[in-house]
Structure 1
């Protein structure tokens, strides 16, 4: 197995404590609310079940994509057609995985690729939308910074937690 199911769970859930700290009024929360144009009173009446539920769903979706970015062995798996084809793969796949199954499976390596994902994927997406929405650079950097921390931690967790 390339990824431990517990790693999926922890990686998915990590966005909540990071968000609680990152968007806390004593950290970036007050600045973010001002830059986003969010009213504190209106935020109190928001549907938190919907917000946190969808946040976890989106985090799970990001986790599934991050695994393929931070764990290089997924490249070999994709070359044989994915999990359904492991049993029918040529002996070279098993030999490759025997030699390299644990290569670059460290927290540090996964964290690097997670951070690069935030820099080269989250920044362009959030930045583009924010520019068209006439948001400030503070707003962009606060949101991208949140994803940089989340993706860095998620990448490290997914990459290192094999068993």
Structure 2
């Protein structure tokens, strides 16, 4: 594999849109309409203590940056001849067998609530399916 050829042929628009999709999904997934209230309760968060800590632009900016890195990596993994179906398949495999297994290990050893794992792993699963679909399907 010629790495310079792979990098030169990446679809950077698809990568950008894939990374942005994670922020859109996160704003819905962790909203009060879906899992936000449960996620807060399981973490022991209140509206008041969430106002402290890092400013939201830093949190969202960093989140976008790390998902941009993930989207670049996913695009390199999929290659230039990826399809929509392979992108979705790869997204499922990555989310379930790489990300979720690592997170589950943390849940077990840190004695976290399994329902919190399901919320967070579910978000990762949907994120990587969407990112894989965008990158794989955008020719």
SS of equivalent to 1:14 = helix
Deviation at 1:18, TM superposition (A): 0.3
Deviation at 1:29, TM superposition (A): 0.7
* Residue from 60, 77, 80 that aligns with 1:69: 77
Larger-Rg structure: 1
Following the alignment from structure 1 to structure 2, what is the Cα–Cα distance between the partners of residues 156 and 114?
8
Following the alignment from structure 2 to structure 1, what is the Cα–Cα distance between the partners of residues 130 and 42?
26
The runs of 4+ residues in structure 1 deviating greater than 6 Å are none
8 Å CA contact 1:36–1:135 kept in 2: the answer is: no
Tell me which residue corresponds to 2:12.
Answer: 5
Deviation at 1:131, TM superposition (A): 2.1
Structure 1: which 5+ residue stretches go unaligned?
74-101
Tell me which residue corresponds to 2:4.
Answer: none
Tell me which residue corresponds to 1:151.
Answer: 128
Structure 2: which 5+ residue stretches go unaligned?
1-7
Deviation at 1:148, TM superposition (A): 0.4
Matches within 5 A, 1:4-43: 4-43=11-50
Per-residue CA deviations over 1:75-116 (Å, capped at 9, x if unaligned) read xxxxxxxxxxxxxxxxxxxxxxxxxxx4xx322220111111
TM-score by length of 2: 0.86
Tell me which residue corresponds to 1:84.
Answer: none
- Give the aligned length: 131
TM-score by length of 1: 0.74
Tell me which residue corresponds to 1:58.
Answer: 66
